[in-house]
């Protein structure tokens, strides 16, 4: 069975992370599937809303580290960057249902969603610094806007998890519900949107985002260039090596 399930019904395209044995960690192939599905949904007038979801126990552990090390994203058109540009540029409403851990890109992708519903077990984290890297998905721009500078600095510099209620307080999520209800709630809201006039949905979203659309893409490109460069530097090599060897990284000489 595919690691990304794609289901289209009643104008709603649902993309489900389906790799539970690997905590829904995302490979380059999965990013490619997601990017292609987003592009198809945006181009098809019959598809009006897109929903991202995982399992009630986990949304995504972020990048698959082994896959990431074997095939690092070395180009602007690497699958991960195609996916990030896809969620940033999607003209139609983008929803997410998030339960359990949402690590790295599992959190940063949510800042591009229009509506986010979380299970009360959701735990959001952006541990890029801990991996010797920098934020991605324009999160260095969007997280301070959403959370305020000091909370953003705490989340991005320390990389420690924050829970569903904190995410609700800062506006990252719209509602917190029991984990068994999150996916169903996102689907119900998506169907409400899909019943509305498509032109009105698209133009309203464009108006909401047009003030910073170019800025988001520019920041995404800047972060991406730094991210690709830093992947080959000593800090990232130490961090990823420690992860694979199940030990604490030592940055004392870096």
Asked which of 60-69, 72-81, 211-220 is least confident by mean pLDDT, the reply is 72-81
Q: Rounded mean pLDDT of the chain?
A: 96
Report the first-to-last Cα separation within the chain, whole angstroms.
43
pTM of the model: 0.96
- 37-56 CB burial, b ≥16 within 10 A, e <16: bbeebbeeeebbbbbbbbbb
**Mean of the pLDDT values across residues 208-231?**
94
CA atoms within 13 A on the CB side of 2: 13
pLDDT, tens digit, 9 for 90 and up, residues 159-209:
999 999 999 999 999 999 999 999 999 999 999 999 999 999 999 999 999
The proportion of the chain whose per-residue pLDDT surpasses 90, expressed as a percent, equals 91
Residue 203 makes CB contacts below 8 A (sequence gap 6+) with none
Between CA 157 and CA 154 the distance in angstroms is: 6
What pLDDT was estimated at residue 75?
A: 81
């Amino acid at each position: 069975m595919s690691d990304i399930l794609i289901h289209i019904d009643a104008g709603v395209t649902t993309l489900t992370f389906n790799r539970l044995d690997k905590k829904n960690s995302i490979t380059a192939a999965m990013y490619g599937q997601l990017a292609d599905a987003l592009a198809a949904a945006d181009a098809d007038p019959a598809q009006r809303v897109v929903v991202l979801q995982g399992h009630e126990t986990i949304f995504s552990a972020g990048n698959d580290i082994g896959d990431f090390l074997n095939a690092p994203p070395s180009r602007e058109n690497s699958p991960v960057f195609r996916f990030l540009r896809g969620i940033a540029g999607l003209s139609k409403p983008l929803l997410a249902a998030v339960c359990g851990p949402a690590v790295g890109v599992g959190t940063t992708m949510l800042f591009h969603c229009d509506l986010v519903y979380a299970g009360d077990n959701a735990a959001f984290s952006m541990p890029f610094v801990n991996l010797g890297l920098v934020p991605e998905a324009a999160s260095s721009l969007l997280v301070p806007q959403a959370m305020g500078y000091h909370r953003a600095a705490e989340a991005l510099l320390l990389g420690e998890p924050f829970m569903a209620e904190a995410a609700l307080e800062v506006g990252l999520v719209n509602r917190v519900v029991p984990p068994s209800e999150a996916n169903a709630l996102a689907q119900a809201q998506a169907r409400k949107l899909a019943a509305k006039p498509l032109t009105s949905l698209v133009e309203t979203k464009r108006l909401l985002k047009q003030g910073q659309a170019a800025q988001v893409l520019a920041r995404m490109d800047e972060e991406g260039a730094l991210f690709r460069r830093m992947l080959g530097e000593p800090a990232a090599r130490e961090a990823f090596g420690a992860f694979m060897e199940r030990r604490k990284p030592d940055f004392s000489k870096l």
